[in-house]
């Protein structure tokens, strides 16, 4: 009998964006006749993710869908953060503005914390869940969240066709050649073009993992580039130490901005789905076909024995 929470937490923006493109060729509309493929896709994916979590032995008792605010604290540190991205499609933007109300009406806990990205909210609630003795399943296609993988948390990465890749510690290490605890170091060295965060020029994934293996972390490798450049060159090839020194600003910035905030004051016990309103909410939103699917799995969540507050 479970005595602690099992949390399914969802990167709402990531899944809504994926759903918008996945259902782009289907004319899905809500009860008011507005385009709603992205919202519908989120609900479908949520239903499948709950079932997948059950299948892998982590039947969820708690649920949270997190969304990004309009501006982030990272912009204060680096104004060019995420600069250069194309403008959000008007239909997608409209659905992002509506999706929170739809989820609330369906009894699905959701949150948008001012100035903190959804990734920070998820990191904080996963940390809170672990502190309560629980386990978490994170639903997202965002690699940044792989730094959360631990003995108490795994990531479900959506794949085409409604399937998921289960990213536990072993899977992360197999794919990226680093432990999840060191994924931040790999990402900071490599950089992230989508967030406009250049990495250390000339240090790709292979050299990055070699440096992490040799020195334990990106910060230690950077320190060694000055104190023992020959050791850095031996680990990652001739000239690696000079490249690290030249990329100091990028690396230090990335380590700070890519690290997820884990200390937001969030109460895991508050994120219990309200299955009793799910059916009415789904019908009102125009998604009555989801009642027997999503409504049913939400009902199962609410009767599982778990920590509630």
d(CA 81, CA 8): 28
Q: pLDDT over 70 for what percent of the chain?
A: 97
Q: What is the pLDDT of residues 214-239, one digit of tens each?
A: 999 999 999 999 999 999 999 999 99
3-state helix, strand, coil in the chain (%, to 5): 55, 10, 30
Collapsing DSSP states into helix, strand and coil, what is residue 152?
A: coil
What is the residue extent of each domain of the chain? 6-176+266-296, 180-258
Give pairs for 115-119: CB < 8 Å, separation 24+: 115/69, 115/71, 115/72, 115/73, 116/69, 116/72, 116/73, 116/261, 116/264, 117/68, 117/69, 117/72, 117/74, 118/11, 118/12, 118/13, 118/14, 118/66, 118/67, 118/68, 119/11, 119/144, 119/145, 119/260
Residue 37 tokens read as 């493929």
Q: Do domains 6-176+266-296 and 180-258 have the same CATH topology?
A: no
Instruction: State the pLDDT at residue 305.
Output: 57
pTM comes to 0.95
Q: What is the pLDDT of residues 263-282, one digit of tens each?
A: 999 999 999 999 999 999 99
Collapsing DSSP states into helix, strand and coil, what is residue 158?
A: strand
Q: What is the pLDDT of residues 151-188, one digit of tens each?
A: 999 999 999 888 999 999 999 999 999 999 999 999 99
Does position 259 have pLDDT exceeding 90, yes or no?
A: yes
CATH of 6-176+266-296, one of 3.40.50.1010, 3.50.50.60, 3.30.70.1170, 3.40.50.720: 3.40.50.1010
Q: Average pLDDT, stretch 72-80? A: 96
d(CA 63, CA 43): 13
Sign of CA dihedral 244, 178, 144, 18: positive
Span 180-258 CATH architecture:
Orthogonal Bundle (1.10)
The CB density around residue 192, as the number of other CB atoms within 10 Å, is 17
Collapsing DSSP states into helix, strand and coil, what is residue 223?
A: helix
Does position 12 have pLDDT exceeding 90, yes or no?
A: yes
């Amino acid at each position: 009998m479970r005595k602690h929470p099992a949390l399914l937490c969802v990167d709402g923006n990531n899944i809504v964006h994926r759903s918008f493109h996945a259902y782009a060729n289907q004319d899905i509309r809500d009860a008011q006749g507005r385009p709603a493929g992205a919202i519908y896709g989120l609900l479908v994916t949520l239903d499948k993710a709950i079932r997948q979590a059950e299948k892998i032995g982590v039947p969820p008792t708690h649920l949270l869908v997190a969304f990004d605010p309009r501006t982030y604290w990272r912009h204060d540190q680096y104004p060019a953060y995420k600069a250069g991205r194309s403008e959000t499609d008007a239909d997608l933007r409209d659905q992002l503005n509506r999706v929170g109300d739809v989820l609330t009406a369906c009894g699905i806990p959701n949150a948008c914390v001012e100035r903190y990205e959804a990734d920070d909210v998820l990191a904080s609630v996963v940390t809170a869940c672990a502190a309560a003795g629980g386990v978490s399943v994170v639903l997202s296609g965002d690699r940044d969240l792989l730094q959360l993988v631990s003995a108490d948390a795994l990531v479900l990465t959506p794949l085409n066709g409604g399937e998921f890749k289960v990213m536990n510690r072993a899977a992360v290490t197999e794919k990226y050649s680093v432990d999840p605890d060191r994924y931040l170091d790999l990402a900071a060295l490599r950089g992230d073009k989508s967030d406009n965060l250049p990495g250390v020029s000339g240090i790709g994934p292979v050299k990055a993992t070699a440096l992490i293996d040799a020195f334990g972390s990106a910060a230690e490798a950077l320190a060694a580039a000055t104190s023992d450049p020959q050791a850095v060159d031996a680990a990652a090839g001739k000239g690696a130490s000079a490249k690290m020194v030249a990329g100091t600003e990028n690396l230090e910035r990335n380590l700070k901005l890519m690290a997820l905030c884990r200390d937001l004051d969030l109460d895991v016990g508050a994120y219990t789905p309200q299955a009793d309103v799910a059916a009415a909410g789904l019908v009102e939103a125009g998604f009555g076909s989801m009642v027997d699917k999503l409504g049913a799995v939400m009902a199962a969540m609410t009767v599982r024995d778990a920590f509630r507050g």
